[in-house]
Structure 1
């Protein structure tokens, strides 16, 4: 007994879920990375006369360097959701969620320090987007479509092509086309 074909609405919803997670992770990571590159703390250091006081500006990346790294991991992981499937997608979704948590923690560190409020808060907002994208991918990612066989390594394609040789049944060619293989190669 074969399973019924998924209706177009389900497939479209799955594509929207994947696209939404990718976009949320990329935008959230970019926002958090941008925010960590801004000045979070300014300190005026008095110096001996006749020197004028010096203002030392500390960016979020200087204050919490792992927050900007987590934001970059969120961006890369969001894009990697497109290229993975199965256990690989699960691992990437975990990594994206952890990266989002890291960006949130970095922003919170800035909020509770002697910093301005705006940039750390923006870092938290970006991290929440990345965290949400990772959590959504963990919950729904196993149902999302994956890249076709044409993107597999050449060894896998040759193995699939071997099943469509001259001794294969006539339906094997159609099966290869359904998998995304080119039986003419």
Structure 2
């Protein structure tokens, strides 16, 4: 593996894993409140991370989408997206910490808020790497970029037939003989 690709793959993996960890942690039980009722069974109210801190789930999904966008962008846009992922990762971590702090300490599962905060920090680090080095990373093939239309030939001039262009025009639904 070349040295220029290693940070690229690690950044993608970090953003993907961190956002995935935050999504998973936000769906787990963060708090169980037990209300005792005389002569009846206790009433248990379960709160997930999405109930306690809904921003965690939303920001984690933005982190997953941003990871996919890192693949499709290049240059300054990829660096700007890395900066956005830094903000998203920080937002995930802060939201998880604030959500955990607002719960009653006796009825809390601390594993999942910590996992969400850790996932946010991992997204932050992956985004920081993309913001610093993203312009140096390889880009997608030019096959996916839009090409300008070819100039029409003057009347009476026969150009050699480009078979690839003919097939591409057929794929678009155009008439290649026009």
**TM-score category by the smaller chain?**
0.7 to 0.9
Residue in structure 2 matching 1:21, options 11, 34, 50: 11
Count, aligned residues: 152
Indicate the larger mover: 59-68 or 81-90. 81-90
Q: 1:66 and 1:116 mapped to 2: Cα distance?
A: 19
The yes-or-no answer on 1:43 pairing with 2:33 is yes
Larger radius of gyration: 2
Q: Which residue in the other structure is 2:87 paired with?
A: 98
Question: Contact 2:25–2:115 at 8 Å: present in 1 too?
Answer: yes
Residue in structure 1 matching 2:112, options 113, 116, 119: 119
Q: Where in structure 2 are there 5+ consecutive unaligned residues?
A: 152-156, 166-178
Shift of 1:73: 1.0
Question: Contact 1:26–1:76 at 8 Å: present in 2 too?
Answer: no
Q: 1:25 to 1:56 in 2, by over 3 A?
A: same
The yes-or-no answer on 1:70 pairing with 2:78 is no
- If asked which structure has higher relative contact order (CA below 8 Å, sep 6+), I would say 2
Q: Which residue in the other structure is 1:5 paired with?
A: none
Shift of 1:51: 3.6
Question: Contact 1:18–1:82 at 8 Å: present in 2 too?
Answer: no
Shift of 1:116: 2.1
Q: Which residue in the other structure is 2:168 paired with?
A: none
Give the SS at the match of 1:69: helix
The yes-or-no answer on 1:60 pairing with 2:49 is yes
Question: Contact 2:93–2:118 at 8 Å: present in 1 too?
Answer: yes
Question: Contact 1:40–1:120 at 8 Å: present in 2 too?
Answer: yes
Q: 1:106 and 1:45 mapped to 2: Cα distance?
A: 27
Shift of 1:29: 0.5
Shift of 1:74: 1.0
Shift of 1:105: 1.0
